[in-house]
Amino acid sequence: MKPTVVIGGGVVGLFTAYFLQQQGEEVIVVDQGDMEENCSTGNAGMIVPSHIVPLASPGMISKGISWMFSSKSPFYIQPRLDRRLIDWCLQFYRHSNAKHVQQSIPYLKGISLYSKQLYLDFVAAHGNEAIKLQDRGLLMLYKTKEGEKDEAALAQLARENGLHADILSKEEIRTLEPNQEVDVRGGVYFPDDAHLSPKDLYRLLKNHLKDQGVTLKSNVTITGIEKGGSKVKAVITQEGKIDCDHLMVCAGAWSGEIAKMLGFRMPMMAGKGYSFELPNMPELKQASILTEARVSQSPYGDKVRFGGTMEISNHVDKINICRVEGIFESIKAYYPEFQAVFPSEDKIWKGMRPCSPDGLPYIGKAPGWENVAFGAGHSMMGVSLAPATGKILADLKTGKIGTLKTDAFAVGRYVR
């Protein structure tokens, strides 16, 4: 029996390998990077069942246009003549409406709650010391009347869809952050959310897979695919051919290129994000999103990670210091007593988030192929949805049909 090959060694690919291995499969994971630092290791580590509204939603177009004119704003598209970018933007525009949001909510809610439970199962099996999962909820902080209106509407939407959401005053927020002055108008608390250490999760998954006999191949470039009828027979790399029984594509922002090799269209753009860690003084206790700044804050004891921005550009390796300054300046705006020192450039993490134009991931079988599936396009929710995505793909391999609705995540939904 040939192995199942997983293209992509990020957290989605590793969870896919994890569940395949649990089912007794022989698995080879290949990644074009070194499998040390990637989009899975420097993000906020948030597990967010509260995030039931896709990125493509009403108001995002107008906000995005206004942000384009600020060098420190949370969103930027590098202007360029690029047919893929133009197509992606047009599709994003077409999906930024209330109907799309309402249709997407049941799917995002279902997969997010499933993923949260899989994380709890994972902790029960492997312990929590390594990944530091903190099941303490998420606080959405706002400073303005407009922010209050927007977050209150999202809280109401969450309640209508069976999720818990509490609107808190500035005074009530102090009970969650007793060590800090929090300069806000108020906030919304989602008690069912959680966060963990993404770097430690990634390390644990890699070590576990190696111990279980899963082969991890880093710095491997996919140059082609050997096909036979409606099946993929092997992947071709710069090191040679790897035969496979099934192919799982979890290659993040580069998954669209693999789809192209397979002859179908799967729109994807890479959205660069930045983050950095600072000493946690005075200690922040509650994971939060600073909503007007679009900045996340995740505390891990004596350290806290701040992250944000969505920069759609071709400059993969370049750090845009202005965007990082925007993140940094938001700290004092929301936490005026926090002892923040701007990080040196070598301490700034950057990663390319894989973004679909409708804000929904691609999960499921590849159109026209019997033995190929994709798990990609999770945008800022890769860590949050990784266990569920991996489990869905592993179940597809064995033919297991679950009760979770996933047709909105169809890989071929843009095939014409």
pLDDT single digits (tens) 332-341: 999 999 999 9
Is residue 280 a contact partner of residue 296, using CB atoms and an 8 Å limit? no
In this structure, CATH architecture of domain 1-57+97-131+193-268+356-416: 3-Layer(bba) Sandwich (3.50)
The CA distances from residue 21 to 15, 185, 207, in Å, are: 10, 49, 13
- 315 pLDDT more than 70: no
| pLDDT tens figures, 180-227 | 999 999 999 999 999 999 999 999 999 999 999 999 999 999 999 999
What's residue 234's pLDDT?
Answer: 97
Collect all residues with Cβ–Cβ distance below 8 Å to 16 and sequence separation of at least 6: 6, 248, 250, 375, 389, 390, 393, 394
Burial degree of 89 (CB within 10 A; 0-12, 13-18, 19+): middle
Q: Report which DSSP code applies to 339.
A: -
Q: Which of 74-83, 122-131, 213-222: highest mean pLDDT?
A: 213-222
Residues 6+ apart with CB under 8 A from 160: none
The CATH fold assigned to 59-95+138-191+269-350 is: D-Amino Acid Oxidase; Chain A, domain 2 (3.30.9)
- Which of the pair, 83 or 69, is modelled with greater confidence? 83
Give the pLDDT band of residue 318 (cuts 50, 70, 90). confident
Where do the domains of the chain lie?
1-57+97-131+193-268+356-416, 59-95+138-191+269-350
In this prediction, residues 236-252 reach a mean pLDDT of: 96
**5: three-class secondary structure by DSSP:** strand
- Range 296-307 average pLDDT: 96
Q: How many angstroms separate the CA atoms of 146 and 4, rounded?
A: 50
Q: Say what the pLDDT of residue 65 is.
A: 61
Work out whether the CA dihedral 330, 331, 333, 339 comes out positive or negative.
negative
Q: Is the per-residue pLDDT at 85 higher than 80? A: yes
Kindly tell me if the per-residue pLDDT of 116 is higher than 80.
yes
Q: What b/e readout covers 242-272, taking b as 16+ CB neighbours within 10 angstroms?
A: bebbbbbbbbbbbbbebbebbebbbbbbbbb
Give 58-78 pLDDT, tens digit per residue: 776 666 666 555 667 677 777
> Given this model, what pLDDT does residue 384 score?
97
Q: pTM of this prediction?
A: 0.95
CA dihedral 95, 96, 98, 101 (to 10 degrees): 70
> Per-residue pLDDT averaged across 146-165, rounded?
96
Q: What percent of the chain stands above pLDDT 70?
A: 96
* Mean of pLDDT over the chain: 93
